[in-house]
Amino acid sequence: MKILVLGSGAREHAIVKALIRTGSVASNVICAPGNAGIAQDVACVPLNANDPASVVAFATAEKIGLVIIGPEAPLVAGVSDALRAAGIPVFGPSQRAAQLEGSKSFAKEIMAAADVPTGMAHECSTIEEVESALDDFGAPYVVKADGLAAGKGVIVTSDREAALEHARKFIGMGILVEEFLAGQEVSLFFLADGHNVMPLTPAQDFKRAYDHDEGPNTGGMGAYSPLPWLPAGFVEEVQRTVAQPTIDELARLGEPFVGLLYCGLIVTERGIRVIEFNARFGDPETQVVLRRLLTPLAGLLHSAATGNLETAPDPRFSDEVAITVVLASEGYPDKAAPNRPIHGLHHAAAVAGVEICHAATAQDGDHLIAIGGRVLSVVAVGKTFHHAREHAYEAIGHIKLDGAHFRTDIAKKVAN
């Protein structure tokens, strides 16, 4: 089966590597547009992944048997709808079902209808409404822009003035003021075929830019999997109380969700609460989740895309643990540094258990350059978190990129 992966980040590189590791033939995998690292593993084509007509034309001409959509932009642009209309199996929800990620108020409505546990929230369209909602909930304050804001739409702060300032910036797109939820965060992915869901394995993302969870929110600076501290039965509980009812509600509304349901959760003292849904694989969690997958990924995603998850085998995961550390350009997440050369990747990739997923890299003549914020993800596996961390940080030590920064505390708390 020929497979087309849409996207150009470390998540897509991890998907490509997992396809090959679990049995897909590299010459049958194509990525569009891809990046310099993905191009070392499979063919990359300069296709506009956000243009439905181009993607359908390419997939038809190439007799693609499965399209896997990585980022949210093609979903929002209706690429999955166009592929489905053309009869091409696609792993990625419709434009409307993807609203679960794109509209926080839509997500809240679905959760309310399906009785899914989440934080209390007030929808506000004026600053006066925001002020009164802030006072209702009290500090710490959680203010969210109601739309796609590239990870910059949420502020969590005890400073009422900062919360208001954030609300003023986004008031045009609608604001959600939410109850603060205290606890550990968990990302849990489910494959969905419109009616059935199948869990992958839990991971934890490190969202803040700097060590000790300090600094601004980012797209994610690292992750690890599994989460040894989760209570027994956690995955089953999330499936029963969150994922299945959400998928059922969307199906009832005539918007069956086919693709990846990303459940962003907080484990509070009063139980599991949803903080967000995404309609796609998370980045960087995918790098650790798929690194541990043993079951053929192409078969699982094809079963979901064609409504056949019931007949698919349960996914199995390695007993080894995985961690990923993101290397970011100077200035990320505020402003991207200019393009700079990267050295030492061969050395880094030669460290035991290490794999490098590229994100913002490009080929410049015969060397590699960094062209954006999150440059690459160093992924390492090991028998223990202690070993995986040793491998990952040894590898990252070999990589030379002027001004680059990374967190040194990924999975540190579980490594002892």
Residue ranges that bind ligand AMP, judged by CB under 6 A: 119, 142, 144, 154, 156, 178-181, 185, 207, 217, 264, 275-276
Q: Give dist(CA 38, CA 32) in Å, integer.
A: 10
Q: Is residue 133 a contact partner of residue 104, using CB atoms and an 8 Å limit?
A: no
Residues 6+ apart with CB under 8 A from 232: none
Q: Is residue 202 a contact partner of residue 186, using CB atoms and an 8 Å limit?
A: yes
Q: Residues 282 to 311: which contact ligand GLY by CB under 6 A?
A: 282-283, 285
Please list the alpha-helical segments (H only) found in 138-259: 160-170, 234-238, 244-252
**Is position 193 an interface residue for ligand GLY (rule: CB under 6 A)?**
no
Please report the DSSP string for 299-361 in residue order: HHHHHHHTT-GGGSPPP-B-SSEEEEEEEE-TTTTTSPPPPEEEB-HHHHHTSTTEEEEESSE
Rounded to a whole number of angstroms, the minimum distance from the CB of residue 54 to ligand GLY is 25
- Quick one: 226 or 282, whose CB is closer to ligand AMP? 282
Q: Which residue has the tokens 């797209």?
A: 219
Residue 142 binding result from ligand AMP, ligand GLY, none, given CB thresholds of 5 to 8 Å by partner type: ligand AMP
- Quick one: 249 or 285, whose CB is closer to ligand GLY? 285
Residue 176 binding result from ligand GLY, ligand AMP, none, given CB thresholds of 5 to 8 Å by partner type: none
**Is position 324 an interface residue for ligand GLY (rule: CB under 6 A)?**
no
- Quick one: 121 or 223, whose CB is closer to ligand GLY? 223
Rounded to a whole number of angstroms, the minimum distance from the CB of residue 13 to ligand AMP is 23
Q: Which residue has the tokens 């949210």?
A: 72
Out of 146, 178, 205, 255, which residue is the one contacting ligand GLY (CB under 6 A)?
205
Rounded to a whole number of angstroms, the minimum distance from the CB of residue 281 to ligand GLY is 7
Residue 30 binding result from ligand GLY, ligand AMP, none, given CB thresholds of 5 to 8 Å by partner type: none
Cα 172 to chain centroid, rounded? 26
- Quick one: 80 or 187, whose CB is closer to ligand GLY? 187
Query: In this structure, which amino acid lies at residue 304?
Result: A
- Quick one: 244 or 278, whose CB is closer to ligand GLY? 278
Q: Give dist(CA 228, CA 322) in Å, integer.
A: 12
Q: Is residue 31 a contact partner of residue 38, using CB atoms and an 8 Å limit?
A: yes
Tokens matching residue 339? 């393009």
Q: Give dist(CA 316, CA 199) in Å, integer.
A: 10
- Quick one: 207 or 292, whose CB is closer to ligand AMP? 207
Rounded to a whole number of angstroms, the minimum distance from the CB of residue 51 to ligand GLY is 23
What is the C-alpha R_g of the chain?
21
Binding mask 209-238 for ligand GLY (x = CB under 6 A): -----------x------------------
- Quick one: 185 or 320, whose CB is closer to ligand AMP? 185
Binding site for ligand GLY (CB under 6 A): 205, 220, 278, 282-283, 285
